[in-house]
Amino acid sequence: MKKKIGIHIAMVVCAAVFLFSAGKIVWTLAEQYKEDKAFSDLAVKLSEAAGFSGEETGSSDVQNTSGAENGNAGKDGAGDGSAAETAMGTASAPKEKVARKPRTVMETDAATGMLMPYLPFYEENPDFYGWICIDGTKVNYPVMYTPTDPEYYLRRAFDGSDAQSGTPFLDASCTEEGNLYVVYGHRMKNRTMFGTLPYYEKRDYWAEHPYIYFDTLYEQGTYEIVAAFYSKIYEDGENGFRYYQYKNLTDEQTFADFKEGVEKSALYKTDEELMFGDKVLLLSTCSYHTDEGRFVVVAKKLTEE
């Protein structure tokens, strides 16, 4: 009798655990859908305001997968695997880099000097700094800037509400005059935010997505990717390229040190290299090849045609 009661209790406990786990998964997926939908709506709003034909807004080249949040832009996070999990396949011959597309030139608001399509976003939220987009990917998001509270948008949506995926944000120490923008974003399991960034470990993926569009409130910017590499947050005494410590590249020696670190860390050669005076964009997200791992993409601003 006691044995039957014990079995019955065990079955009830197992059922309760299963229902709890299933409910948590459903809740997580619902939250992810809601957050992704909110950002998609913002992208549509921008597309309509700017008169984009569609090629300048991101569209996923990767099927969404279910699962909870996977790592972040800050200092914590737990991984779901190694670099092999992000591999996009190896071609028999390197792919040719896709051609650069001309951009739609945005009009400027006479009163504020801001690009008109971005003015409504700034009026809705003054923390809005600009917009980042990579063609053919899910990367198509606003970029926030809160210098007095650097990681404010680590777990917040554009409107400031709680959001596990957060919103990409600019390093608090970066300024337009410093020739370096460092943008952090979560690496999500459903490939939103910077979830597809580690795909740049493959040169073929770079060849298919070599350009990043990063606009500030006042200036449109097309950036060409020059390098991608794995890194980590190094402890005191460890040797390594501390890319995250660079905030200003206007000093020639500082720039030379930064360039050397990028070139030594790069996973493969691209068509471009950094030159002193370039405005540099650096995207950073979590990686799970090691403790406190990071994956980084580096790009340089091109002169608009």
Percentage of the chain with pLDDT > 90?
65
Does the residue 196 lie in any domain? Answer: yes
pLDDT of residue 271: 87
**pLDDT exceeds cutoff 80 at 77:** no
pLDDT in tens, 249-259: 999 999 999 99
Does the residue 32 lie in any domain? Answer: no
Percentage of the chain with pLDDT > 70?
75
Query: In the chain, how many domains are there?
Result: 1
Does the residue 6 lie in any domain? Answer: no
pLDDT of residue 49: 82
Does the residue 31 lie in any domain? Answer: no
Does the residue 266 lie in any domain? Answer: yes
**pLDDT exceeds cutoff 80 at 86:** no
Residue tagged 């008109």 (tokens): 116
Highest mean pLDDT among 91-95, 141-145, 175-179: 141-145
> What average pLDDT does this structure show over 75-92?
41
pLDDT of residue 12: 56
- Average pLDDT over the chain, rounded to an integer: 83
Does the residue 22 lie in any domain? Answer: no
Does the residue 165 lie in any domain? Answer: yes
Does the residue 25 lie in any domain? Answer: no
Note the pTM of the prediction, 2 decimals: 0.80
> What average pLDDT does this structure show over 140-169?
96
Range of the domain at 170: 38-301
pLDDT of residue 231: 97
Q: In CATH, what number is assigned to the domain containing residue 102? A: 2.40.260.10
Higher-scoring residue by pLDDT: 235, 66: 235
**pLDDT exceeds cutoff 70 at 2:** no
**pLDDT exceeds cutoff 80 at 176:** yes
